[in-house]
Amino acid sequence: MTTTLSTHFPAIDNTHLKSFAKLDIPARLLLGPGPSNADPAVLAAMDRQPIGHLDKAYLQLMDEVQELMRYAWQTDNRLTLPVSGTGSAAMEATLANTIEPGDKVLVCVNGYFGHRLMDMAGRYGAEVVSIHRPWGEVFNTSEIRAALETHRPAIMAIVHAETSTGVCQPMDGIGDLCREYECLLVLDTVTSLGGVPLFLDKWGVDLAYSCSQKGLSCPPGSSPFTMNERALTKLSNRRGKVANWYLDMSLLNNYWGQGRTYHHTAPVNMTYAIREALRLLSEEGLEARWQRHQEAAEHLYAGLEEMGLTCHVPREYRLHTLTTVRIPEGVDGKAVTAKLIDDHNMELGGGLGDLAGRVWRVGLMGYNARKENVDKFLSALKQVLTELK
């Protein structure tokens, strides 16, 4: 016996709905600030049927992801997990869980993402103060000490790998200063995890966050987050609840910790993906991975110099995963990036904020950090610059 839909439903007019073709995404070489191309093995791991997020097999995967993430960050932090969201969600989680209204938060700003940290901190009721360096420069411990002495913040946030400028911030001594002044240290490692040396415990970092789609060669959507016992103590001593329910680590800890208590429907296939990405990292080894990124970056520097192009950041502070290249006088930077996409199927990033229109951003991250990709890019860029003269 067949049944028909109730006649009480109104008639649906779909005459305006066009016919859509099957999904067809161009295969591009992604050499911008992210995402980078995902490792084929990661895509294969992701392309499996989901299982329940409380299934015993999934719970085992969660344990493995946490262990691998601790290795990637060189930390023993018990609360280390992937946030269900992009890197900005993990960034917000560090602030949402530690800031109480009225807390003073010091942000070190030398690029676009320092400003984002300031914006987020203010939304949680912090009294936000900041110190600044020009985009392309780093902070020294003397100016950080002076700011800590002046402001006496509860939290200090600094970007290790500034995606907008291509700067890698030296971290020696900064964690010690934060302990001396009894404040928590938050570190942005979005463009450094899996690509350049990171030692959270050795550096005295209290909270850190990253993303999946850069040095880990994984699609975006599962973002590493970690907090140590100092940060957990501040969380447990809060006067009120964390203002963001979805990112509340006191709740998420019951899901990713021993209780395995339901919190939200985890993105199961993204867990497959990031687990495989982290497995590949451990298989290659951290030191070998860092070395591969450095060699690819140095190959790029040499090729750019040969073309007469200049990097924006002094060599000793360059981020091996992302290089900012000054756009030559008289060259239309956007025309170059458009022609690289149209003619060479290759993505190159433009500048942000203070560097908008002044630099290109070349990403060599994870799976893409290879000399053959550098050669493809330099050849294509040379051709495009010649054609646009």
Residues that constitute the known binding site for substrate: 361
> If 0-12 CB within 10 Å is exposed, 13-18 middle and 19+ buried, where does residue 97 land?
buried
> Which DSSP helix (H) or strand (E) runs through 347?
strand 346-350
For 373, the 3-state DSSP assignment is helix
Q: Helix axis angle, 56-73 relative to 268-284, nearest 10°?
A: 40
Q: Maximum Cα–Cα distance for the chain, whole Å? A: 82
Bond before 35 cis per omega within 30 degrees: yes
Where is the binding site, in residues?
A: 361
CA distance 144 to 106: 10
Distances in Å between the Cα of 144 and the Cα atoms of 149, 150, 172, 176 are 9, 10, 12, 11
Tokens 């002495």 belong to which residue? 149
> If 0-12 CB within 10 Å is exposed, 13-18 middle and 19+ buried, where does residue 117 land?
buried
3-state DSSP helix/strand/coil percent for the chain, to nearest 5?
40, 15, 40
170-182 burial, b for 16+ CB within 10 Å, e for fewer?
ebeebbebbeebe
What end-to-end distance do the CA atoms of the chain give, in Å? 73
Type of residue found at 182: E
Taking phi over 0 as left and psi of -120 to 50 as alpha, with beta for the rest, 136 belongs to left
Q: Do the beta carbons of residue 218 and residue 37 sit within 8 Å?
A: no
| φ, ψ of residue 81 in degrees (nearest 5) | -160, 160
